């Protein structure tokens, strides 16, 4: 009986963390939307588009490496950025 209770508790905690992270991500996107629009309007040289293309390429390479490493190593649980993973998109403002 004890393992079932522990499994329910860990599932509840995991779901709660995912919910808080999702709400934080939603709030970040809603609050940053005006800043993104202003940045897009001020981007005369196309720097933001270039930066987004480079970031997409990095993600593609990361994904390829992840696929290769999964074939070589056993499966590990994926981390979703932690509690403050929703603030990851703020790095584009630098």
Q: Are 63 and 1 in contact (CB under 8 A)?
A: no
Q: Mind listing the pLDDT tens digit of every residue in the chain (94 residues)?
A: 568 888 888 889 989 999 999 999 999 999 999 998 998 889 888 888 898 899 999 999 999 888 888 776 665 555 566 677 777 777 666 5
Q: Residue 34 and residue 88: Cα distance in Å, rounded?
A: 17
Q: Which of 90, 89, 82, 77 is nearest to 18 (CA)?
A: 82
Is this prediction's pTM over 0.85? no
Q: State the DSSP code for 83.
A: T
Tell me the two tokens of residue 27: 């709030």
């Amino acid at each position: 009986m004890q393992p079932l209770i522990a499994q329910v508790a860990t599932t509840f905690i995991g779901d709660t963390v995912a919910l808080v992270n999702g709400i934080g991500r939603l709030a970040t996107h809603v609050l940053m939307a005006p800043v993104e629009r202003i940045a897009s309007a001020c981007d005369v040289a196309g720097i933001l588009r270039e930066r987004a293309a480079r970031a997409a390429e990095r993600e593609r390479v990361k994904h390829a490496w992840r696929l290769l490493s999964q074939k070589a190593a056993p499966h590990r649980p994926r981390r979703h950025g932690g509690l403050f993973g929703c603030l990851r998109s703020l790095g584009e403002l630098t």
